[in-house]
Amino acid sequence: MAEAVDHAFETGEHLAVQAGTGTGKSLAYLVPSIKRAMERAEPVVISTATIALQRQLFDRDLPRLADALTGEMPRRPEFALLKGRGNYLCLNKIHNGAAESDDLPQDELFDAVASTALGRDVKRLLAWSSETETGDRDEVSPGVPDRSWSQISVSARECLGAARCPYGTDCFAEKARGRAGSADVVVTNHALLAIDAISDVNVLPEHQLLVVDEAHELVDRVTSVATGELSATMLGVAHRRSARLVDPELAERFEAATAVFTSAIYDEPPGRKDVLDDELATYLTVLRDSADRVRAAIDTAPGDPKAAAARNEAVTALNDVSDTASRILNSYGPAIPDRTDVVWLDHEEVRGAKRAILRVAPLSVSNLLRNRLFEQSTVILTSATLTIGGTFDAMARSWGLTLLGDDAPGWRGIDVGSPFAHAKSGILYVAAHLPPPGRDGTGSAEQLDEIEGLVAAAGGRTLGLFSSMRAARAAAEAMRARLDTPVLCQGEDTTSALVRRFAEDDETTLFGTLSLWQGVDVPGPSLSLVLIDRIPFPRPDDPLVTARQRAVTAHGGNGFMAVAATHAALLLAQGAGRLLRSVDDRGVVAVLDSRMATARYAGFLRSSLPPFWATTDTARVRQALERLRTP
């Protein structure tokens, strides 16, 4: 893998590398990255999806490599960790009080006697701000909610800029960018990579070489960054920030426009909006025009820092409203098969109250990635799960690699294998005798009996991965009544605490949902059984998924296989990958969905999983689990 990465850096050819757990893929791309960075005197950017991997690279892998390479390089390589501006405290906001809050009036927000939870958080953050050397949110322990952190931070668009800000020379975010600009290797995240690609502002240092680890997450993270939304909360913030800066009558008109719009979407049924009715179109137009008029009325001439910061935050909020409203309105111009954006309405429940949010997202980010990523840099994409149905084709299409022109550098995919002997170390068990799962999201009586038998045979030591939180809780409650071994469930403590308790006690079982599928790394005897309650197809009413399926079908493809089945295959592979984390591990992946044995797409899904020994024999699987309990 290291040789392939180095060759790609040399030739400019893009490279997709599937590298199983235990391969050492981070070392395989870091060594050639360090080599090339020092040869070219320009940074190589490493992008990851999770904070855990960022910290592993920056705190452990890169320093160890630097030590190991002493004597092989003309100097010690330098590294930097770069996050979005919102992850660093803003000194101007701290000192000039440009904060907003739903809970506290402006003049009370920084009052030390503020009694709300928000006020207590802000007081603690203020004390921390005078001590920290990095201003990095990750230093705050215990952590604080997003709402509290937002009182001392700004987004990239809200920032005054180092030249205009009175604290520009001391800015923590600018210092981090400065370190990144002079580093050999810059570690960042997919969200910042997406912002750098989408926006016209360069947030990452200039670079020609890029490594995307956890590349199976790239499309979702870029889609998330490229999604716009309009909600009562967002509109309320825009109104509060701008009301004190413009004529009261103009502010009242904007407030009225936001009230009418939010009332309209509150009463609308949720779901994808293929047709924009005249009423909602009128409300969107009035909202956009009203935001534009307020924006135009704000004096953006240079002034004192406090006023400048307040104006900048107001202008940013108003631009977001106007841009998103315009984007939604414009998305309905082309006929459905030719649309590039999808619009839908979500109803979410927060603290028992319904929130209506109108969202707009790109149907595909493949063109964006092609134009702003692959045509600008040589890219290495790697993960333990990149082949779906046995090939790289699905991932390559989603990234936009298949759209590259004949004159552009090509791409290739390689699978460097795994140190694990999957067929000897693991069993793939499909419970073919169970009835197909129902639509209510909870397991049948037969499925609960199956879970009981398997967990009992394993003596606990089970990670249960469920399609919904409701199903996970129901199974946990049932197993606590039936089993003598401990059963934990996601949500009862922080995920890290639950995983730690699970790893420390061989008899403990942990049930959870999708967010656990990619974050659990428990080698050894504490994990011998991975349960998957059903094939993780996306929700049948998911607006983005259904729109993408329809688009594939309209162009002559199989929308279900290209979108829903591909999504399920990727998650199944991630879930199954929790089992073997070291060469000494043994165990069973049990899929309690008979469609994995009977459906026409079953072979496609199975071909995306590691080559475990496969069976549908319940008795043999239970005997195998019982044998694993014997020292």
> Which domains does the chain possess?
2-84+171-221+365-415 (3.40.50.300), 89-169 (no CATH), 228-362 (no CATH), 422-628 (3.40.50.300)
**Residue 537: closest CA among 514, 512, 510:** 514
Task: For strands 353-362 and 509-512, give the pairing.
Answer: unpaired
414-431 confidence digits (pLDDT tens): 999 888 899 999 999 999
User: What average pLDDT does the segment 378-385 reach?
Assistant: 95
pLDDT on residue 440: 67
Distance, in Å, from the CA atom of 552 to the CA atom of 397, rounded to the nearest integer, reads: 12
CB 460 within 8 A of CB 622: no
Q: What is the mean pLDDT of the chain?
A: 88
Structure confidence at residue 101 (pLDDT): 45
Q: First-to-last CA distance in the chain? A: 37
Cβ burial of 294 (10 Å; 0-12, 13-18, 19+) is buried
- Report d(CA 604, CA 601) in Å as an integer: 5
- Give the burial string for 202-234 (b: 16+ CB within 10 Å, else e): ebbbebebbbbbbbbbbbebbbebbebebbbeb
Average pLDDT over every residue of 125-151: 84
Positive or negative, the CA dihedral 396, 398, 401, 404 is positive
Long-range contacts of 484-489 (CB under 8 A, 24+ apart): 485/455, 485/459, 485/460, 485/509, 486/460, 487/511
What's the Cα-to-Cα distance from 238 to each of 243, 427, 458, 615, rounded to whole Å? 8, 55, 55, 58
Q: How many CB atoms lie within 10 A of CB 143?
A: 12
pLDDT computed for residue 269 by the predictor:
92
Coil vs helix vs strand at 57:
helix
DSSP label of 152? G
Q: Is the pLDDT of residue 544 over 90?
A: yes
Is 532 in contact with 569 (CB distance < 8 Å)? no
- Largest separation between any pair of C-alpha atoms in the chain: 78
Listed in sequence order, the residues at least 6 apart from 611 whose beta carbon sits closer than 8 Å to its beta carbon are: 422, 423
Q: What percent of the chain has pLDDT over 90?
A: 58
Q: Give the Cα separation of 251 and 269 in Å (integer).
A: 29
pLDDT in tens, 83-110: 888 888 888 888 876 444 443 444 444 4
Residue 61 in this model has a pLDDT that exceeds 70: yes
